[in-house]
Amino acid sequence: MWKIPSETNFIVFDQERIRQSFIMSENSLIRLEQVTKEYALGETMVHALRGLDLRLDAGEFVVLLGPSGCGKTTTLNLIGGLDQPTRGHVIVGGEDIAQYKADQLTDYRRRKIGFVFQFFNLIPTLSAAENVEFALALNDDARDLRQRAFALLERVGLRERANHFPAQLSGGEQQRVAIARALANDPAVLLCDEPTGNLDADTGHHVLRVMRELNRAQGTTVILVTHNAAIAPMADRVVRLHDGMIQNIETNRAPQAVEQLVW
């Protein structure tokens, strides 16, 4: 059962305030300036984002919320360098990654971003530890890969399952391996696309708890895309999107503990 969370803890911005706050926050970790994304779907032109402006600060836990087709995943993909805007700027750490070439984007993703996907996207022929090693090996430091992989799995509570292959792991375990992999190169930003979308509620809670701990303990910026409004109360900020535009941004002064989330 979906439960709409209490609104009492949120400050709601209107569009003009959003714009103002964006302009004023030149030092944000991530800034999206007038970002438009259009693509052809068959013979139809889809306007996924329509001049989006957004800024996200380092260490924030942000939830991008909205119905299907509102542009939340597109926003995540643009921040992650998986896609490029039709127009506008995506500035991360002071650099406009919209101007990056493919190789620069690859390097950017490797050094700064960690991804967590809805379907985990583990390499099925590699064990849990090897999946993490695979990401670790992308780094210039190739020492003690196995030990470091075990340590990361330890952090997500899967040390004892390190030698299991994806097909031998539950959905929640796979997602935790995916998180461990995403953390391999100590990313500045963790991008999570519907990380609980393919998990039952208990497992979903477990995964969110891991993310929250990482955010709080490491200061990793987490951007989580979901259409499950029940997750929103755990975020520092909630960005609601609708039809390729920001509908509102809510700042949560006292984010709820994961245990309190109910869906």
Partner 1 sequence: MLHLLLLKNLRDLRASLAQTIALIIIVALGVASYVALIGAYRDLATSYNHTYEQLAFADVTFALDSAPSDVVNQIAKIPGVAAVTGRLIVDTGLDLPPELGGVKNAQIRARLIGIPEDAHPRVNDVLVESGRYFQPRDGKVALLETHFASIYNLAPGATVTPIINGRKQPLQVIGTIASPEYLVVSASRQDVIPSARSFAVIFVPEAELDRLMGGNAGINNIAVRFASDANPDNVIQQIDRELNAYEINSTTLQADQASNAALHLDLEGYREIGFMMPALILFVAAVSLYVMLGRLIRAQQAQIGLMKALGYADRAIVVHYLGLALLIGIVGTLLGVALGIPLGSEITTEYATELGIPLVATQVYPDLMVEGAILSIVLALLGGLVPALQASRLPPVVAMRPSPQMFVKGGRTWIERVVRLPLWLRVALRNVLRVRSRSLSTGLGILFAFVLVLGAWSFMDSMQFMLQDTFQNVERWDVMAVYSTPHSWSTLHRIESMDGVKRVEPILLLPATIKGGGASEDIAVTAIDPAQTLHRLELENGITPAQALGDNKIVLTAALANKYHLRVGDPVTMVTQAKPGSHEKITRTLTLGGIADEMMSAVGYISLDEGSKWANITGFAMNGAYVQVNTSQASAIRSALYDDTKASSVQLKSAVQADWVSLMGLFYAFIGMLVVFALAMTFALLFNTMTVNVLEQQRELATMRAIGTNRRKILLMMMGESVIVWLLALIPGLVLGTLAARELGGAFQTDLFALNIVIAPTSYVVAALGILLTMLLAALPAIRRVNKLNLAEATKTLT
**Residues of the shown chain interacting with partner 1 in the complex, contacts defined by CB under 8 A:** 73-74, 77, 80, 82-83, 103, 106-111, 113-115, 117-119, 121, 123-127, 130, 133-135, 137-138, 145, 165-168, 181-182, 185, 193
**CB of residue 120 to partner 1, shortest distance in Å:** 8
Select 83 or 236, whichever has its Cβ closest to partner 1: 83
How many other CB atoms are there within 10 angstroms of residue 168's CB atom? 12
Core vs surface per residue 11-23: b (16+ CB within 10 A) or e: eebeeeebeebbe
Amino acid at 99: Q
Select 31 or 37, whichever has its Cβ closest to partner 1: 37
**CB of residue 235 to partner 1, shortest distance in Å:** 22
Select 16 or 103, whichever has its Cβ closest to partner 1: 103
Q: Using the 8-state DSSP alphabet, how is residue 25 labeled? A: -
Please state the separation of Cα 189 from the chain's center in Å: 7
**CB of residue 72 to partner 1, shortest distance in Å:** 12
**CB of residue 167 to partner 1, shortest distance in Å:** 5
Distances in Å between the alpha carbon of 71 and those of 52, 58, 208, 217, 239?
Answer: 10, 22, 22, 30, 11
**CB of residue 14 to partner 1, shortest distance in Å:** 30
The CA-based diameter of the chain, rounded to the nearest angstrom, is: 52
Q: Using the 8-state DSSP alphabet, how is residue 166 labeled? A: G
Residue 7: exposure state from Cβ atoms within 10 A (0-12, 13-18, ≥19)? exposed
**CB of residue 15 to partner 1, shortest distance in Å:** 26
Distances in Å between the alpha carbon of 81 and those of 33, 99, 131, 144?
Answer: 15, 10, 21, 29
CB 64 within 8 A of CB 224: yes
Select 76 or 249, whichever has its Cβ closest to partner 1: 76
Select 188 or 249, whichever has its Cβ closest to partner 1: 188
Select 16 or 160, whichever has its Cβ closest to partner 1: 160
Q: Using the 8-state DSSP alphabet, how is residue 237 labeled? A: E
Q: Using the 8-state DSSP alphabet, how is residue 119 labeled? A: T
**CB of residue 162 to partner 1, shortest distance in Å:** 13
Select 125 or 260, whichever has its Cβ closest to partner 1: 125
